[in-house]
Amino acid sequence: MSLAFDDYGRPYIILRDQGQKKRMKGLEAYKSNILAAKAIANTLQSSLGPKGMDKMLVSPDGDVSVTNDGATIVEKMEIQHPTAKLLVELSQSQDAEIGDGTTGVVVLAGKLLEQALTLLDKGIHPLKISDGFDRACDVAIKHLEQIAEEIDIQANDHEALIQAACTALGSKVVSKRKRELGKIAVTAVLDVADLTRKDVNLDLIKIQTKTGGSVEDTRLISGILIDKDMSHPQMQKEVTDAKICLLTCPFEPPKPKTKHNINISNAEDYNKLYQQEQQYFIDMVKLVKNSGANIALCQWGFDDEANHLLLQNDLPAVRWVSGTDVELIAMATGARIIPRFQEITPEKLGKAGSIKEVQFGTSNERMLVIENCQCTKAVTILIRGGSQMIVDEAKRSIHDAICVIRNLIKDNRIVYGGGSAELACALQVLQYADEVSSVEQYAVRSFADALEGIPSCLADNCGLNPITSVAQAKSRQLSEKNPRIGIDCMDLGTTDMKEQRIYETLSSKKQQIQLATQVVKMILKIDDVIAPDDY
């Protein structure tokens, strides 16, 4: 009703331009929202698990990327439907918070919505459904904590961490080298981890990519790799016992921010100004040299003359170092970032064992490696691969693995993968359902069904019969009282995930269930969508 009449029979408008807006109400709105969200979940569903497939995404400019990472897929899909966008955000918040399980969370939300749809058809009020889901979620989380096991991350050369990394890498295109890459990720994280505070600063791990070679050639460099070379082609290519001067001011005459004019009115001034300019360069280089630095890294450019003076003074220098690199180098070498030449003091210099130039392939690309830094051990993972797409995907995969390892260091409780944790929770929720005396009982039971959707989806992707394998796993979990029975995705002959050593972090699983439930609750509360017609 956009038009109403007042007491005198004059029409007045309640909602402006109603004709030009699309509006959906009630059940129609619920269903439309759920279907849109489900469409996204359906796309991601086939990427779940070790035998999951990849998606090829073509950007508006025609660039191709191939990925298995849920967050990346939905981000690049250009989704315009408002409810579907909620799922994009869901995946992204899982990515930001945990870094892994971004596909799983969307698939779970999709399964929950599917259940909600049938409940709506039964005539149950949406709020009752979301209440039921909420209760079931609490039960599931509690149960997860009960079945979680603490693992000793130190034992057996950090074997547990490597296994967890392998689980994360197992579904990616790099899975054939998952063990090597897993080890690289674990070493990288342990190198920078603060084990007493149980904290890892991921900024200290730099992931650099370079096409060429194969994924096997990926390696860990115990130092920082920057994609730059020396500013002057004849500067020395290697500096040992480097004392680094980290500058954020250009080797150029200063440019005051205030607008000003220097007026020259006679030849004397002209000469004076010239001499002053020359002096600037000499002073700048002298200030750096006198501080004892033997290499200068600068965020900005150099004037030709300054560049040569640096060479003449045996002071190798690098220009246009990116801001993030500058910060990383500062953290690793203990250098203070110096914004003015006048403020250079010997204490502000950073120290590193060596800095040298390395070359790759036939094209003339050189990079600088800074090794044995004084403070924290910053590390770089150099990813190689046959093409840009592989390298990009490998980078995303390694990022996931690193996140998993970090989460384990923070909280060393794990649950077992292969759908076993979801199944165990489903059973628990189902048991709880019977205790609920109100309408919510149905919603709680549906929640359990939705949880079962994950193992069934896993089985489906692996070419197993989803119904039989889930039923088998469920009955074995009940009869053997073993919450570790899952789906044997890799065809290894055992369904006990402890034997298969499929580790997932408790925090990730918990987060998945909570986030998915939250989003579903939010979608279920929408009963009216008003949008411009041409949207």
Partner 1 sequence: MDIVGNVLPQVLKDEATEDKGEMARLQSFVGAIAVADLVKTTLGPKGMDKILKPTGPGQEMTHITVTNDGATILKSMYVENPAAKILIEISKTQDEEVGDGTTTVAVLAGELLREGEKLIQKRIHPQHVIAGWRIARDVALKRLRDISSENDIKSQEFHNDLVKIARTTLSSKLITQDRDYFADLCVKAVLRLKGSSNLDYIQIIKLPGGTIRDSYLDDGFILKKQITIGCKRRIENAKILVANTAMDYDKIKIYGTKVKVNSMDKVAEIEAAEKEKMKNKVDKILKYQPTVFVNRQLIYNYPEQLLADSNITVIEHADFEGMERVAAATGAEILSTFDAPERRDQVLGHCDLIEEIMIGEEKMIKFTGCKKNEACTIVLRGSSIHILDEVDRSIHDVLCVLTTTVKNRRVVWGGGNSEMQMAAACEEEAKKVQGKQALAIEAYARALRQIPTIICDNGGYDSAELIQNFNVELQKGNLTSGLNMNDGTIGDMQELGVKECMRVKEQAVMAASEAAELIMRVDDIVKCAPRKRDRA
Nearer residue to partner 1 within complex by CB, 200 or 457: 457
Nearer residue to partner 1 within complex by CB, 465 or 475: 465
What 356-364 contacts at long range (C-beta under 8 Å, 24+ apart), as own/partner pairs, is: 356/237, 356/238, 356/239, 357/229, 357/230, 357/237, 357/238, 360/210, 360/212, 361/212
Least distance to partner 1 from the beta carbon of 437, Å?
33
Task: With CA atoms as reference, report the closest residue to 99 among 444, 375, 508.
Answer: 508
| Cα 382 to Cα 186: distance, rounded to the nearest angstrom | 15
Question: Is 187 known to be catalytic?
Answer: no
Least distance to partner 1 from the beta carbon of 178, Å?
12
Report residue 180: phi and psi, to 5°. Answer: -60, -50
Q: Given the residues 67, 72, 83, 103, select the one marked as catalytic.
A: 103
Q: Is 411 exposed, middle or buried (0-12, 13-18, 19+ CB in 10 A)?
A: middle
Report residue 261: phi and psi, to 5°. Answer: -130, 140
| Cα 311 to Cα 304: distance, rounded to the nearest angstrom | 11
Question: Is 434 known to be catalytic?
Answer: no
Nearer residue to partner 1 within complex by CB, 385 or 419: 385
Task: With CA atoms as reference, report the closest residue to 305 among 279, 270, 338, 339.
Answer: 279
Question: Is 102 known to be catalytic?
Answer: yes
Nearer residue to partner 1 within complex by CB, 367 or 430: 367
Torsion angle of the four alpha carbons 495, 496, 498, 501, in this order, in degrees rounded to the nearest 10: -10
| Cα 389 to Cα 146: distance, rounded to the nearest angstrom | 41
How many CB atoms within 10 Å of residue 217? Answer: 13
Least distance to partner 1 from the beta carbon of 334, Å?
32
DSSP tag of 302: B
Least distance to partner 1 from the beta carbon of 219, Å?
16
Least distance to partner 1 from the beta carbon of 361, Å?
5
| Cα 232 to Cα 419: distance, rounded to the nearest angstrom | 57
The amino acid at 381:
I
Nearer residue to partner 1 within complex by CB, 59 or 468: 59
DSSP tag of 240: E
CB 36 within 8 A of CB 88: no
CB 98 within 8 A of CB 403: yes
The amino acid at 349:
L
Nearer residue to partner 1 within complex by CB, 197 or 260: 260
| Cα 392 to Cα 389: distance, rounded to the nearest angstrom | 5
What would the two tokens of residue 229 be?
Answer: 């070379």
Least distance to partner 1 from the beta carbon of 215, Å?
7
Q: Given the residues 392, 400, 460, 488, select the one marked as catalytic.
A: 400
| Cα 437 to Cα 198: distance, rounded to the nearest angstrom | 44
Tokens 């039964």 belong to residue = 122
Q: Given the residues 102, 209, 495, 517, select the one marked as catalytic.
A: 102
Least distance to partner 1 from the beta carbon of 76, Å?
7
CB 486 within 8 A of CB 473: yes
Nearer residue to partner 1 within complex by CB, 9 or 463: 463
Nearer residue to partner 1 within complex by CB, 35 or 202: 35
The amino acid at 148:
A
Report residue 239: phi and psi, to 5°. Answer: -125, 125
> Please, how many CA atoms are within 13 Å of residue 374, restricted to the half-sphere of its CB?
17
Least distance to partner 1 from the beta carbon of 503, Å?
22
What would the two tokens of residue 138 be?
Answer: 């609490």
Q: Given the residues 54, 67, 69, 392, select the one marked as catalytic.
A: 69
Question: Is 269 known to be catalytic?
Answer: no
Q: Which helix (H) or strand (E) holds 321?
A: none
| Cα 462 to Cα 455: distance, rounded to the nearest angstrom | 11
Least distance to partner 1 from the beta carbon of 187, Å?
24
Instruction: Tell me the sheet residues that pair with 359.
Output: 366
Nearer residue to partner 1 within complex by CB, 173 or 185: 173
Least distance to partner 1 from the beta carbon of 280, Å?
8
**Residues classed as catalytic:** 69, 102-103, 400
